[in-house]
């Protein structure tokens, strides 16, 4: 391997000196040179970076100075604008103050007008007796105020319509006043006619009442009552207009004419005379046959109208088989009074096996619906709890015979009622429904 070395020669007074440098020295020297060069290069690079930073800093300072100058210029402009705005704000404050004062004036005027409008509205409502909008409670709420004003406007439209109708109707007031005067004169004449007719009705009403009571007492048959109209409760709707109602509907002007009304009352009086005459004839006819009517069982023997069993074939309550039922059974409470349906004589007043306590009346001859000749009547009252008559006693229609019970062959308190005609049992409902159709019986 080859080795490198450096040989230095030095010339001096003492001759030539020789210095020998080997490879290590050369490497050390080279390394030292390189390190020195690197240090110089790094120092140069560092100085270059420092110069760049200084240049950037100078540029930044210049930009900052420019921006600062711009801000100074801007501040100068803003200062003038601020001065302008301050003046403008002062003007706005003054305008706001003036507007506030004007608003308060208008608000006070509005509330005053609203109060006057409310008073006028109340006065119109009271005068016209109309149902109007209530008063405004909260005037500080704009929405409620607007709604209230809208309702007030609608009310005033109705007021205007009412006033127009009033003005239209006022034109006919004078004509109506003249008509009223005429009607007053006719009313006086009508009152006189009605007063005379009422006196006539009072006199004849007493006659009708007397004859009706006499006929009812003799026959036991209720006649239709003539008198005041009573409110009747019924399961089905019934009724009808009176003659005056029909007259007023067919020809209402007839009631305005005293002559026409007088003629109507006279005709009605003739009809009433005819009714009274018919009642008198009927009373005389019944009086001639008084004995027959007194012995005809025309009334129901007790107050109850409820039937628990009817006449004829039925299912026996004890044997549950079909059997013949010779009478009708009235449902009634124990102790209810049983009255005689006609005059007669007590034939039986004793306990009789299945009948229990029994009362049988012998009435004699009486009338039967649909038969020309008179028939012989007997009546039976069974299952009594107590008997109030004795055998052979004379009985008048309506006399107490006994009290309802459940003696004998009975499942509970009831009255077994039989009517026997010429010795044969007959359905009691037939004479009852014919002589007194208003005494309706029903199956309970």
Its sign, for the CA torsion 335, 336, 341, 342, is positive
pTM > 0.85? no
In the numeric block, which tokens belong to residue 166?
A: 């009033």
pLDDT of residue 268: 58
Q: Which residue has better confidence, 154 or 315?
A: 315
The residues pairing with 405 across neighbouring beta strands, listed in sequence order, are 414
Q: What percent of the chain has pLDDT over 70?
A: 54
Q: Which residue has better confidence, 383 or 192?
A: 383
* Sequence-separated (6 or more) residues with CB below 8 Å from residue 141: none
pLDDT of residue 90: 82
**Which helix (H) or strand (E) covers residue 397, if one does?**
none
The Cα–Cα gap between 38 and 34 comes to 6
pLDDT average, residue stretch 372-384: 91
Residue 236 has pLDDT above 50, yes or no: no
Confidence of residue 38 (pLDDT cuts 50, 70, 90): confident
Whether 355 and 381 have beta carbons less than 8 Å apart is answered as: no
pLDDT of residue 121: 62
The Cα–Cα gap between 378 and 362 comes to 5
pLDDT average, residue stretch 267-288: 56
* Sequence-separated (6 or more) residues with CB below 8 Å from residue 117: 152
State residue 409 phi and psi, 5-degree precision: -85, 85
Residues 379-405 pLDDT 10s? 999 999 999 999 999 999 899 999 999
Q: Which residue has better confidence, 264 or 171?
A: 171
Closest Cα to residue 401, out of 414, 416, 384? 384
Residues 111-138 pLDDT 10s? 666 666 666 667 666 665 666 666 655 5
In the numeric block, which tokens belong to residue 31?
A: 């390394």
Residues 315-368 pLDDT 10s? 888 888 998 999 999 999 999 999 999 999 999 999 998 999 999 999 988 888
């Amino acid at each position: 391997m080859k080795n490198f070395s450096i040989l230095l020669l030095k010339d001096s007074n003492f001759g030539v000196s020789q210095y020998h440098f080997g490879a290590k020295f050369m490497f050390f020297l080279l390394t030292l040179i390189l390190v020195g060069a690197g240090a110089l290069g790094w120092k140069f690079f560092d100085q270059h970076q420092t110069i760049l930073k200084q240049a950037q800093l100078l540029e930044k300072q210049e930009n900052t100075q420019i921006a600062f100058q711009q801000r100074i210029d801007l501040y100068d402009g803003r200062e003038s604008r601020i001065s302008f705005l301050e003046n403008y704000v002062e003007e706005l404050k003054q305008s706001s103050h003036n507007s506030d004062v004007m608003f308060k004036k208008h608000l006070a005027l509005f509330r005053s007008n609203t109060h006057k409008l409310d008073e006028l509205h109340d006065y119109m409502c009271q005068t016209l007796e109309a149902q109007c909008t209530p008063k405004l409670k909260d005037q500080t709420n704009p929405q409620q105020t607007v709604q209230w004003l809208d309702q007030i406007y609608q009310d005033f439209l109705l007021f205007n319509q009412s006033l127009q109708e009033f003005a239209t109707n006022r034109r006919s007031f004078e004509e109506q006043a003249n008509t009223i005067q005429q009607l007053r004169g006719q009313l006086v004449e009508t009152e006189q006619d009605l007063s005379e007719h009422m006196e006539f009705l009072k006199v004849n009403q007493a006659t009708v009442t007397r004859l009706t009571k006499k006929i009812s007492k003799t026959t036991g048959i209720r006649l239709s009552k003539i008198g005041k109209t009573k409110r009747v409760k019924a399961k089905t709707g019934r009724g009808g207009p009176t003659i005056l109602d029909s007259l007023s509907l067919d020809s209402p002007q007839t009631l305005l004419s005293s002559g026409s009304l007088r003629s109507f009352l006279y005709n009605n009086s003739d009809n009433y005379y005819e009714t009274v005459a018919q009642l008198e004839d009927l009373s005389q006819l019944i009086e001639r046959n008084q004995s027959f009517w007194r012995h005809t069982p025309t009334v129901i023997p007790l107050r109850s109208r409820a039937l628990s069993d009817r006449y004829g074939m039925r299912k026996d309550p004890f044997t549950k088989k079909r059997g013949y039922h010779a009478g009708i059974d009235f449902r009634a409470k124990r102790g209810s009074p049983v009255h005689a349906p006609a005059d007669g004589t007590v034939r039986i007043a004793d306990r009789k096996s299945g009948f229990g306590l029994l009362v049988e009346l012998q009435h004699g001859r009486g009338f039967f619906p649909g038969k020309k000749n008179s028939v012989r009547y007997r009546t039976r009252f069974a299952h009594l709890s107590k008997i109030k008559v004795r055998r052979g006693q004379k009985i008048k229609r309506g006399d107490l015979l006994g009290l309802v019970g459940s003696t004998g062959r009975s499942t509970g308190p009831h009255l077994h009622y039989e009517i026997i005609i010429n010795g044969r049992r007959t359905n009691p409902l037939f004479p009852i429904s014919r002589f007194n159709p208003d005494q309706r019986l029903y199956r309970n």
